Amino acid sequence: MRVGLFIPCYIDQFYPQVGIATLQLLEKFGVEVSYPEKQTCCGQPLANSGYEHLTQPINNCFVENFTGFDYVVSPSGSCVLHIKEHLYGTDKVDETRQIKENVYELVEFLTDVLKIEDLTASFPYKVGLHQSCHGQRGLRLASMSELNEAPFSKPETLLKMVKGLNLIELKRKDECCGFGGTFCVTEEAVSFKMGKDRVKDHTDHDAEYITAADMSCLMHMEGILKRANSKVKVIHIAEILNAG
C-alpha cells in the first residue's frame, strides 16, 4: 500500500510537528508513506472566498503530486473535503477521479482503511474533542447532532484506545469554532465570539487539552487561549495517537 502524504500549507509552515506525528503514526502501522515535495495547497482558501475559478493551476499542481498512490492521506478534514468536492478541471480526468475517490483524512484512514483496533499511545490528560465541521458533517467522521441517526464517532473510537486519556463531555458536541478560513478576519467579531464560546465549553468541563482532526480550528482556539493566558493547550489528534 503506497500512501501519499498531503500536508496542508499552514500545517507545513506553522505546525510541522503535526505532519511529523502523522507520518510516524502511519509508519508505525507499516504503511509505505511518501511525501511529494512539490505539493503546495488544496486551493480551499481561494475557493471559499469565491475564487474557485483561479484554482486551476493549484489543482494541476495537486494532481501532478498525488498521481499514482493507492491513497492520499492528510491530517486535515477540511482540506480533504475540499479535494473530494472541488478538485476538478485538470486535463488528467482519470487521475483526478482516482485521487478524489482515494483521499482520506487521517482518522478515517486509520478506522476505515487500516481498521486499527488498538494503539500503544498514552496520553494521561483530560481531553476535549472538537468536532471540526468539515470532517464531521462533510466527511462523516462522526454522527451529527442534527440528524436522527445512530451515534458514532471515529475520532472518539481512536481516542478511547489511548491509555490514560480522559475524554470530557461537552455541552454542545458539534458546534463550529468560527474559524471558517477568511471568515476569521472578514467577520472578526462573530468569529472571535464563536471561538471564545467553543473554548469556554472545553474549559468549563476542565479540559487540559483540546484536540481535533483539523489544525485550523485548533489554531483559532489556540489563538484565543493564548491571548487569555490560559494553561489549556491545543493538540492535533495525530500527536495524541502518536504519543508515548
Partner 1 sequence: MKDHAALADIFNRDEERVSWHDDTLWFVREKRDKVSKDIEDWEQLRNAASQIKDNVLSALDRYLIQFEKNALKNGVIVHWAADALEHNRIVLSLLKKAEVKSMVKSKSMLTEECHLNEFLIENGIEVIDTDLGERIVQLANEAPSHIVLPCIHKKKEEIGEIFHEFLGTPKGLSDPQQLTEAARQDLREKFLTRKAALTGVNFAIAETGEFVVCTNEGNADMGAHLADIHIASMGFEKIIPERKHLGVFLRLLARSATGQPITTYSSHFKRPLKNKEIHIVIVDNGRTIQLGREDFRNSLKCIRCGACMNTCPVYRRSGGHSYHTAIAGPIGSILAPNLDMEKYKDLPFASTLCGSCTNVCPVKIDIHQQLYKWRQVIVQSGYTDTSKTIAMKGMAFTLSSSRIFDFAGKSMRLTLKYIPFAINNQLNPWYKNREMPEVPKESFKKWYHQNRKNGN
- In sign, the C-alpha dihedral spanning 23, 74, 185, 54 is positive
Which residues are paired to 117 by β-bridges?
Answer: none
d(CA 121, CA 175): 28
d(CA 224, CA 194): 11
| 28 touches partner 1 (CB under 8 A) | no
> Under rule CB under 8 A, which residues in 128-147 are in contact with partner 1?
133-134, 137-138, 144-147
> Under rule CB under 8 A, which residues in 47-86 are in contact with partner 1?
47-55, 57-58, 60-61
| 20 touches partner 1 (CB under 8 A) | yes
Return the range that interacts with partner 1 (CB under 8 A); candidates 93-101, 112-120, 159-167, 170-178.
170-178
Collapse the DSSP code of 189 into the 3-class scheme (helix H, G, I; strand E, B; otherwise coil) and give the result.
Answer: helix
10 Å CB burial of residue 151 (0-12, 13-18, 19+) is exposed
Binding test (CB under 8 A) with partner 1, winner from 108, 208, 214, 222? 222
| 38 touches partner 1 (CB under 8 A) | yes
- Tell me whether residue 154 or residue 165 sits nearer to partner 1 (CB atom): 154
| 175 touches partner 1 (CB under 8 A) | yes
| 19 touches partner 1 (CB under 8 A) | yes
| Pair 128, 210: CB distance under 8 Å | yes
All three cell numbers of 218, joined, read 485548533
Binding test (CB under 8 A) with partner 1, winner from 3, 6, 23, 80? 23
Binding test (CB under 8 A) with partner 1, winner from 32, 70, 112, 188? 188
d(CA 206, CA 203): 5
| 150 touches partner 1 (CB under 8 A) | no
